Structure 1
């Protein structure tokens, strides 16, 4: 067989021989900064996760940057007043992982990261892992999420922000212009039937006696002990306020019925003046639950900063 015939001959079974890979790193030789930049371009970054606590923030359309700046200043002020959190040196209390490297090319991003490695360990910890407030983009119009970390209490923080807005009588002293409603979150889970139940049980447990879970039979003694503690809780009345965005699988009626089914019968529904308001929010594939005072819901305009400012400055 001639050389030319050998070249024309393909692999056995006909068809062309598979093209050899030219190798490539497959990502294993990327620097951390390069990988982070690619992750960011791929739409990742600071993401919602199960177990997060924090605050949903709605804002005027097209004003995310300004709303985030306003919220950052509120967090800076109240973080120091309520929790003794030192004001950041860079003047931004609200960390935004997605914006950290905006405007930097790959080379500049790598240089920035190397400089970070040279910083004292305590400083790196403070900058990267000890942020009490972290803004999370959720790819939903007019909404972002702010993750909070201990010692911040999202319900207390929201209440204080709203109380300050209610007390403001001078339009020139308004601290926010673009932020609308705040929704505190004490439990975050997946937006599935089981996930919603887990989040609800975690958020409701401090306030309500709950119906036994279906799988509690295995730990009967522990359940009995817990039941004794549950019996001591006041018979708070409640109302459920919910919101579903960018999710077509969860139905409004089903969501309300599921939450109500977890609460013991000693707690009565009161849609007018409830002792507690259960806030349930479904955003994309996540469910979140929080419980606030009924008086806060009614007196603080459903935790809507814009409405509070308008009510006090026009009266």
Structure 2
């Protein structure tokens, strides 16, 4: 699976105009490793985050995701390898808040301080004017609640407040850990739209989440790690192409069609209730062509697409190793 974590030669890279050297909005992890005493949390990890896309960062609990994010942000030093943000370590940037906006843990401000006051203090720390505070409050939908004490905020409102703080420097990259926690369905739909729009402007998003169905709707690229190692790095569609779905077909003569399909090399054919056949390893066009050649009428057909959750589980199980 190591080859799946290398950049594909034919895969286009989105160029940003923020810097002339082509590194803007890009995170590059090369041979990254981290050991805590006898525990090897991350091992020889390599992947990239490209501008112009939302990258989902996936892995089971204990896979090394949080440690990796903290190394990218310079909060933990790597034992081996490098994590570069726009070509240099994150800590080497003179204005880091204008490069990455990060939310690793949702921590509101002082419970008696208002959201507006909290953001103004954060803005002053990175030399951002108060006018930007009003902009980010509007961006995350907290303008009407800006003068409420954050101690009365719900988890979802605190998520929005943390995102607002991350956006203060108008960063080129967002790094978010479980940003959908506590959001209601409307909030999740809003977050999806916001992240996609942010990336579409030529910037980058790296988002870690266990909400696989939402990542499938939001992200264009995936980085999947397990036991500290990269299992996949690339577009979701490229992963989907390695995973076969099923075609459900209801023929006039199931036994005859099953025989014809096996004769064409499609050996994974199972009978199901109602006269249907489940055919793995083929698309609807191929199944229909076999049925036509065999002179068998088809009364119903549907393709079952493999969802991200199933792809993720198969990948970790090593079915495509």
**Per the shorter chain, which TM-score range?**
under 0.3
The TM-score normalised by the length of structure 2 is: 0.28
Higher strand share: 2
- Give the structure with the higher percent helix: 1
TM-score, structure 1 length as denominator? 0.28
Structure of greater Rg: 1
